[in-house]
Amino acid sequence: MQPNEVMGAGCKSCGSAWLDASYAYADVATVWGRGLQHRPQSLWRYHEMLPVSGPDPEISLGEGFTPLLRAYQLERLYAAQGEIYVKDERQGPTSSFKDRQAAVAVTAMRKAGIRECVLASTGNAAAAYAAYCARAGIRLWLFMASQVPAEKMREAALYGAEVVRVSGTYDDTKRVAAEFAARKGIHFDRGAKSIAGKESMKTLAFEIAEQLGLQRSEDAGAAAWQCPDWYVQAVSGGIGPLGVWKGFTELHQMGLIDRLPRLAIVQVAGCAPMSQAFQANKASADPVVPTTLIHVLATGDPGPAYGLLRNAVLKTGGTMFSVTDGEAFEAMRRTASRMGLSVEPATAVAFAGLERMFTEGMVAPGETVVVNCSGHTFPAESHVLGDQYTLSVELGHAAVQTGGDGLSSAFNNLDEQITSILVVDDNPNDRRLIRRLLRAYKQYRVIEAQSGADALAKARDQRPDLIITDLTMPVMDGFTLLERVKGDPELAHIPVVVVSAKSLTDADRALLSRYSDSVWTKGSFETSQLAAHIASTLGDSGQADARPASTDEPAWVLVIDDEPRDRRLLRRMIESSGDYHVVEANDSRSGLKLAYEHRPDLMIVDVNLPDINGRDLIETIRADHLLRDVPLMVYTAQELTPEQVNFLSQHTQAILQKTRDDKQVFVTELRRVLS
Ligand SMILES: Cc1ncc(COP(=O)(O)O)c(C=O)c1O
């Protein structure tokens, strides 16, 4: 199959959006019938039946061939008279079965020369695509409903994806993502409708049939493929069971298995359009607005996937039903405590379904059941990413339904949010001023660097849209930075604005004029002029006369104090003295986390803290390249020794004593430090 066919958006002859692939089944049957035991333990062992001929070694993470675990504990618990197996998809590269889809789809994208991709996801496909796109050098736009758990968004952001939170349901999010991709001319991943998506999920069926045979045979060389009686999966959009069904159907067609399994499609009651339609014996499903807490399963409108799955279910006497959030949470505990498998709530829905199948007698004695253990949440630490790791699209309902102007302005706003500006200055106060100036006018992403060398590394890594630089800096000055940027073919197109206090000599001017026509002298211009100039340099039409989007952005103050009364007092004093935003921590460790997350404009610390003492905390902050420029104020009830005062005056901007200094002194110092 040609790469462009794999990525096709619809059938050229009938126009259908649903694409299918078929293979030379008879030829493959002969080879597979002899056994595949010498092949690599990844999904690529089934390459003859995949739309891409093999792995790309630069992209592959060893996806697939996850363990098929016998669930003895559950067999005992349910007094099962047959075998229960767990297909442990948590053991994939990003801990969910979506790794299969991402591996095949991203490999196909790279072969087709696609450099940028848009995907809507309820969470797990997001992490999987983000990891594989990172490896393939493909820029990924991930659209997720704002209710998706933050951990899922953080994992994707950690892999470098552009994470866009949409204020709507997952079905709204899918429409917005498709519209965004169409307007920008970017490849849109069509999930179950695409060839790569469905075909990749077939490998689950191939593995189950091969592994069941291997587990039951003494002699691996003579093992025959075997079909379970039931295949159980939690379902949202349905791509998993659609692919699995196709896989079993193909094995059957090739004569490698003698029958097909029954499918048990388990939905969560707060979003169960398929199971509701099935129970009502309807041929199509009515969309629902999800009310479940299990957002990973929140596809309210399954579209044609329902009809296809219903046919599959009816063919072998399978079922579709739902379990409640509460039943899933119970099952989550039981799966962990009985089986030692820690799963996420979406996966627990399948286990709650399994339990229902046994308690309601759906499984006959002697039948073999395989349950897909699809995913697990990866705890990406919040402070690693700072506070700008998602972009957001705020939608009025009409905009979602009809597209049009509402959506246009939401997308323009998105463009602004992905515009990044690198601010280079060795003086942290000047950097902070420029950051606040920019953020007051626009929602740009601001990256900071403290020297030319630091800036060059960040420019290469993060490719900013514009650079604002000082001239006089240690390590590498602004002149050298300009020369290096303009001499690097990858960076030369980036406009550079010089903002400096240096009195320029004729030689300086001559040098600068070769690289930048935008030189501003600190203190000699209105901030609005610089903001307008930057907006027009960035091609922000209609915004060249930049006006503040809001008033000045409030400064963030982080208070670290273990005494709740003192924290309350500090908050009151800070908030009453100006437009400040206060965040609080009760010990040093949580304070450090918040500092990484929020990059505050000021930290106020006590010297007597329960976990890491104040002195060590201050040393840690001053040694950390992300935090060392944040101004520090000490606010303490402790009588300080001369040695302590000496240390603190070297490393902090102000030392205040709770008993000595009144509110007036505090406010004066606060304003001085923040000015
Ligand atoms: C853990 C888990 N289980 C089940 C599903 C449902 O998948 P499908 O899209 O195949 O319905 C998902 C979807 O993301 C999932 O992440």
Distance CA 169, CA 178 (A): 14
How confident is the model at residue 546, as a pLDDT? 44
pLDDT digits (tens, 9 = 90+) for 281-328: 999 999 999 999 999 999 999 999 999 999 999 999 999 999 999 999
Nearest to 325 by CA among 362, 289, 294, 286: 294
Domain end residue (candidates: 537, 572, 590)? 537
Domain co-membership, 434 together with 571:
no
Domain end residue (candidates: 503, 537, 571)? 537
* Residue at 2 is within a domain: no
Compute CA distances 443 → 45, 168, 392, 417, 554, whole Å. Answer: 48, 21, 11, 5, 14
474: domain CATH number is 3.40.50.2300
Looking at the chain, the whole-number percentage of residues with pLDDT higher than 70 is: 96
Q: Reply yes or no on whether the pLDDT at 523 is more than 90.
A: no
How confident is the model at residue 542, as a pLDDT? 42
CA of 51 to the centre of ligand 1 (A): 22
Query: Is residue 142 within 8 Å of 155, Cβ to Cβ?
Result: no
How confident is the model at residue 552, as a pLDDT? 57
Looking at the chain, the whole-number percentage of residues with pLDDT higher than 90 is: 64
Quickly state the pLDDT bin for 548 (edges 50, 70, 90).
very low
Domain co-membership, 565 together with 531:
no
Domain co-membership, 519 together with 571:
no
How confident is the model at residue 443, as a pLDDT? 79
* Residue at 550 is within a domain: no
CA of 204 to the centre of ligand 1 (A): 13
pLDDT digits (tens, 9 = 90+) for 339-351: 999 999 999 999 9
pTM: 0.83
* Ligand 1 lined by 239 (C-beta under 6 Å): yes
* Ligand 1 lined by 236 (C-beta under 6 Å): yes
Query: Is residue 366 within 8 Å of 82, Cβ to Cβ?
Result: yes
Select from 90, 124, 142, 194 the residue to mutate for testing ligand 1; criterion: most ligand atoms less than 8 Å from CB.
Answer: 124
Domain co-membership, 235 together with 357:
yes
Ligand 1 atom closest to the Cα of residue 305 is 11
How confident is the model at residue 594, as a pLDDT? 87
Domain co-membership, 336 together with 213:
yes
* Residue at 136 is within a domain: no
Q: pLDDT: is 216 or 397 the higher one?
A: 216
How confident is the model at residue 95, as a pLDDT? 95
Domain co-membership, 260 together with 313:
yes
The pLDDT mean for the chain works out to 90
CA of 323 to the centre of ligand 1 (A): 15
Q: Which residues contact 105 (CB under 8 A, 6 or more apart)?
A: 129, 132, 189, 194, 196, 197, 200
Domain co-membership, 204 together with 340:
yes
Q: pLDDT: is 46 or 512 the higher one?
A: 46
Distance CA 493, CA 491 (A): 6
Domain co-membership, 367 together with 479:
no
Q: Reply yes or no on whether the pLDDT at 270 is more than 70.
A: yes
pLDDT digits (tens, 9 = 90+) for 583-616: 999 999 889 988 887 788 899 999 888 888 888 9
How confident is the model at residue 402, as a pLDDT? 56
* Ligand 1 lined by 122 (C-beta under 6 Å): yes
pLDDT digits (tens, 9 = 90+) for 35-61: 998 999 999 999 999 999 999 999 999
Span 388-399, mean pLDDT?
Answer: 73
* Ligand 1 lined by 149 (C-beta under 6 Å): no
Q: Reply yes or no on whether the pLDDT at 155 is more than 60.
A: yes
How confident is the model at residue 545, as a pLDDT? 45
* Residue at 13 is within a domain: no
Quickly state the pLDDT bin for 181 (edges 50, 70, 90).
very high
How confident is the model at residue 623, as a pLDDT? 86
* Residue at 105 is within a domain: no
Assign 325 to helix, strand or coil: helix
Q: Reply yes or no on whether the pLDDT at 179 is more than 90.
A: yes
Domain co-membership, 563 together with 523:
no
Quickly state the pLDDT bin for 515 (edges 50, 70, 90).
confident
* Residue at 327 is within a domain: yes
Domain co-membership, 518 together with 572:
no
Domain of 437, in residue numbers: 419-537
How confident is the model at residue 517, as a pLDDT? 74
* Ligand 1 lined by 114 (C-beta under 6 Å): no
* Ligand 1 lined by 237 (C-beta under 6 Å): yes
Assign 469 to helix, strand or coil: strand
* Ligand 1 lined by 346 (C-beta under 6 Å): yes
**Among the ranges given (5-14, 227-236, 371-380, 624-633), the one the predictor scored with the smallest mean pLDDT:** 5-14
CA of 44 to the centre of ligand 1 (A): 22
Tally of domains within the chain: 3
Q: What is the DSSP string of 211-265?
A: HHHHHH-S-GGGPPP---SEEEEE-SS-HHHHHHHHHHHHHHHTTSSSS-PEEEE
* Ligand 1 lined by 296 (C-beta under 6 Å): yes
* Residue at 29 is within a domain: no
Domain co-membership, 212 together with 338:
yes
* Ligand 1 lined by 452 (C-beta under 6 Å): no
CA of 314 to the centre of ligand 1 (A): 21
Q: Which amino acid is at 78?
A: Y
* Residue at 192 is within a domain: no
Q: Reply yes or no on whether the pLDDT at 501 is more than 60.
A: yes
Domain co-membership, 369 together with 424:
no
Domain end residue (candidates: 472, 506, 537)? 537
